[in-house]
Amino acid sequence: MTPHINAKKGEIAKTVIMPGDPLRAKFIAENYLEDYQLVSNVRGIDVYTGFYKEKKLTIMASGMGIPSMGIYSYELFKFYEVDNIIRIGSCGSYDAKINLYDLILVTESYSQSNYANEQNGSNDKIIKSDDYLNAKIEENINNKYFKGKIYCSEAFYKERAYQEFAEAGCLGVEMETFALFHNAKVFNKKAACLLTVSDSLVTKEKTSSREREQNFTEMIEIALNTVVNL
């Protein structure tokens, strides 16, 4: 048990799939897992461990933002000896060619966050995801997808323009990868992130929460099938 997870050691699988939203974690467990159990529910963050195509895995939400992802991924890697975390989330697009519902596989996370420095003194501003996990994910994607750097923001509502982050080579924006990739690096573990575009900073289009939910299924299935092949 940790301050934020009340599962026993061994109740969390070696690979964890992390959506941001606790309701999405519940949706994945209920619709895809067999023989699953709720192994922790501190602060309404349900943690489900079960089987998909006979492979044991855990589904747990990260919550929103770097600090929340920072806490949960740290505890999973360090105290529960998790080896792989695959984040599945949504992002805003910075690129006119990247539309609503497009998929982005994140190769690196750029952030102006102080998280890494505060956590262990690192001066990293760009942190890579794991090449092996990314290759496994790519084996399971059948449709078009984008691959590249993402900006990891600490402010969802910004007065500041996004263009400087686009000019720095970022395809879009989300809020959790920087903490996840940093913690994976600290513990020499593997982390990856697959995103679905939920809004465009360029055209200002947005998906409804209902549409977002339906479109998430493609990404969920890619992540689940990736875990089977690990």
Q: Which residues contact ligand HPA by CB under 6 A?
A: 90-92, 153, 156, 173-175, 198-199
Which lies closer to ligand HPA via its Cβ, residue 90 or residue 183? Answer: 90
Which lies closer to ligand HPA via its Cβ, residue 132 or residue 156? Answer: 156
Query: Phi and psi dihedrals of 158, rounded to 5?
Result: -120, 140
The least CB distance from residue 8 to ligand HPA, in Å, is 33
* Cα–chain center distance at 105: 10
User: In this structure, how many other beta carbons lie within 10 angstroms of the beta carbon of residue 25?
Assistant: 22
Which lies closer to ligand HPA via its Cβ, residue 76 or residue 91? Answer: 91
Query: Cα separation of 219 and 104, whole Å?
Result: 10
Spatial CA neighbour of 194 closest among 210, 217, 167, 214:
217
The stretches of 50-188 forming alpha helices (DSSP H) are 66-78, 115-120, 131-139, 163-167, 177-187
Which lies closer to ligand HPA via its Cβ, residue 7 or residue 175? Answer: 175
The least CB distance from residue 105 to ligand HPA, in Å, is 16
The least CB distance from residue 84 to ligand HPA, in Å, is 23
Which lies closer to ligand HPA via its Cβ, residue 75 or residue 199? Answer: 199
Please say if 102 is a catalytic residue. no
Query: In whole angstroms, how far apart are CA 127 and each of 11, 35, 49?
Result: 29, 36, 29
* Site of tokens 């055209």: 203
The least CB distance from residue 176 to ligand HPA, in Å, is 9
User: Minimal CB distance to ligand HPA: which residue?
Assistant: 92
Task: Give the burial string for 96-127 (b: 16+ CB within 10 Å, else e).
Answer: eebebebbbbbbbbbbebebbeeeeeeebeeb
For residue 201, what are the contacts with CB-CB under 8 A and spacing of at least 6? Answer: 92, 93, 94, 162, 172, 173
The least CB distance from residue 7 to ligand HPA, in Å, is 28
| Residues annotated as part of the active site | 199
